[in-house]
Amino acid sequence: MRVKVTPLRQRGRVMHREERNQCPAYVGELTVAEARDHAAGRAVRRARLVDAVNGMRTDVLPELSDAQLLWAADGQMRLAGFERIEGVDYAQTWSVRLER
């Protein structure tokens, strides 16, 4: 589904409203699926925001591992999980709005 995503954390730290308002929303196709995480040795739910450029699907944001749906209503939802940046896992929460 086509959505706009606003990350609510930066390297695990919750961003204040003023910081979030300065960041653009990221647009792409949201997918959530279970996949094997070889480093963890188990299956995890992964949320990805991807965009198709020249026929190639590329990640717009680092994927969320162990993604959990916190709530969903009125074309919006909140997803939480962990993103891996430079080999380090950080807590991350996405505010997601359906693109209309």
How far apart are the C-alpha atoms of 33 and 40, rounded to whole Å? 16
pTM: 0.88
Mean pLDDT of 38-46: 89
Q: What is the pLDDT of residues 57-84, one digit of tens each?
A: 889 999 999 999 999 999 999 999 999 9
pLDDT exceeds 90 at position 19: no
State how far the alpha carbon of 2 is from the alpha carbons of 18, 42, 54, 84, in Å: 26, 29, 18, 23
pLDDT at 54 over 70: no
Range of the domain at 73: 2-98
Spell out the alpha helix ranges (H) of 1-100. Answer: 17-22
Work out how many domains the chain is built from and give that number: 1
The CA radius of gyration of the chain, in Å to the nearest whole number, is 13
The CA-atom distances, in angstroms, between 21 and each of 17, 36, 68, 99 are 6, 35, 24, 18
